[in-house]
Each structure stands twice: as C-alpha cells, then as structure tokens.
C-alpha cells in the first residue's frame, strides 16, 4: 500500500478546514441578518459600524439631547448595534477638576417627557483624537463648527464635520440645506424647540446615511 505524502495530507486538511469555516460564516451571516440570500447591497448597510459624535459648547444641553435622541431612533429601528454614538463639548466650562457636569435638568426633563433617559451622562471635551475616531462630528451651531475644526488641527481634512440642521429635511430634499443654528436653550429657555430641531436633524441624518448606502434601505426610519 502506498502511503500519501505527509505534506499532501496536511494541505488537504487545511483546505477542508477553510472550506468548512467559509460555509459556517456564510450560514451564520444569513441567519443573523434574516436573509434568504446574501445580497451585497443589503449586507453593506449591516456591516458598517458608524461612529457619530454630537458636539455643542458645554455638552449639557444640545449635544446630549442629540446623543440620546439618536440612540433612541436607532434602537427603535433595531440597528443600534451598528452605531457608536456619543457627545462632547468644545469648551471646559462644564468640567471641574476633570469631572463633567450632568445634563442640565431642563434638558434632561425635556428628554424624559419623550420617554428618553440620559442617566449617567456627564460633560466631556472633544479632543483631536476624536476626529480620528469618529466618522461624523456634528456641531449644533457655527461657533461649534469653528471650534471643532480648530481642535481637529485647523482643517476638516477628511470631511467629517457637519452642522446639525444641514441634515434637516433630507428625507424630502435629498440634499443639505443652508442650515441655521440649533439655538442654545441655556439662553432661550425653549427646550421644546431645541428638542424638535434635534429630532429633525437626527432623522435627516439617518435618511442621509440610508441614501448614501451606509444603512440598509430595508430599515424603516420614522418621519
């Protein structure tokens, strides 16, 4: 009897293992995603982890409202696992001895009025490293945009910095608007209006991501 070469046997075993592994991954992917067939366009939307950082001056009103509204929207649409969402400040005004202040009580109350919790959130300042870490850095007003750009190194070299309300209405227009600022409710006292602006910006942003192909077109975004 002629015995097979040891190298040939090892090569055959490794090839079989690779084939089995590929089959397992394919089956698991189809099962997890609920797909009967692996359509590239659909998979593209599910495979990407989208990192979003909302930014305002102090990180106690507008940007945390945006952070938790966005978290609620993606959670309700059952694709929260594909997002990393946070918020930060351009200043250190709400940070004392390295510890950030909690969300401003009227902002927290406005979120709670819509069934949204922001428990545990404390202010932190945006850093240059955040520019490398996040895919989208979304500021609430023009001053935020200037300060974010300065902190990022003086230029938005990777086109990551956006203004919140530039996304508002994207579901209808499929284009960015000449955005006004999200007014700071610390000064206006109109937390309900700020909430409405934040919701409009967040929904428009999701439609933008869907149009861009970063999230599946099968996902239903509330209007």
Boundaries of every domain in the chain: 6-38, 48-212
Given pLDDT bands bounded at 50, 70 and 90, which one contains residue 216? confident
Task: Give catalytic status of residue 62 as yes or no.
Answer: yes
Q: Is 93 exposed, middle or buried (0-12, 13-18, 19+ CB in 10 A)?
A: middle
**In this predicted structure, which of 55-69, 169-183, 184-198 has the lowest mean pLDDT?**
169-183
Homologous superfamily of 48-212 in CATH? Answer: Response regulator (3.40.50.2300)
E strand or H helix that includes residue 54: strand 50-56
pLDDT above 90 as % of the chain: 66
Catalytic residue among 118, 130, 141, 184: 184
Cβ atoms 182, 194 nearer than 8 A? yes
DSSP 154: S
What is residue 5's predicted lDDT score, i.e. its pLDDT? 55
Q: What is the mean pLDDT of the chain?
A: 84
Phi, psi at 161, each rounded to 5°: -95, 125
Q: Which of 61, 62, 130, 141 is catalytic?
A: 62
Whether the Cβ atoms of residue 182 and residue 190 lie closer than 8 Å to each other = no
Whether this prediction's pTM lies above 0.85 is answered by no
CA distance between the termini of the chain? 74
Q: Which residue is catalytic, options 56, 61, 118, 202? A: 56
Per-residue pLDDT tens for 58-70?
A: 999 999 999 999 9
Q: Each residue of 87-107: pLDDT tens digit?
A: 999 999 999 999 999 999 999
Number of H helices, E strands in the chain: 9, 6
Q: Is residue 127 classed as helix, strand or coil in its secondary structure? A: coil
Active site residue 184: yes
């Amino acid at each position: 009897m002629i015995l097979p070469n040891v190298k040939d046997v090892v090569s055959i075993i490794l090839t079989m293992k690779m084939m089995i592994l590929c089959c397992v991954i394919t089956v698991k992917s189809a099962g997890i995603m609920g797909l009967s067939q692996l359509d590239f366009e659909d998979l593209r939307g599910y495979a990407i982890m989208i990192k979003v950082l909302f930014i305002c001056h102090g990180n106690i009103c507008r940007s945390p409202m945006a952070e938790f509204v966005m978290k609620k929207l993606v959670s309700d649409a059952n694709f929260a696992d594909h997002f990393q969402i946070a918020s930060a400040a351009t200043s250190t005004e709400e940070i004392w001895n390295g510890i950030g202040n909690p969300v401003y009580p009227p902002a927290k109350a406005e979120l709670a009025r819509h069934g949204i919790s922001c428990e545990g959130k404390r202010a932190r300042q945006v850093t240059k490293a955040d520019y490398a870490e996040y895919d989208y850095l979304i500021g609430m007003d023009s001053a935020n945009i200037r300060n974010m750009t300065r902190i990022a190194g003086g230029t938005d070299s990777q086109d990551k910095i956006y203004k919140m309300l530039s996304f508002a209405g994207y579901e209808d227009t499929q284009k960015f608007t000449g955005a006004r600022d999200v007014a700071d409710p610390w000064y206006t006292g109109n937390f309900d209006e700020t909430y409405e602006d934040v919701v409009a910006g967040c929904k428009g942003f999701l439609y933008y991501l869907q149009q861009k192909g970063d999230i599946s077109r099968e996902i239903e975004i509330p209007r």
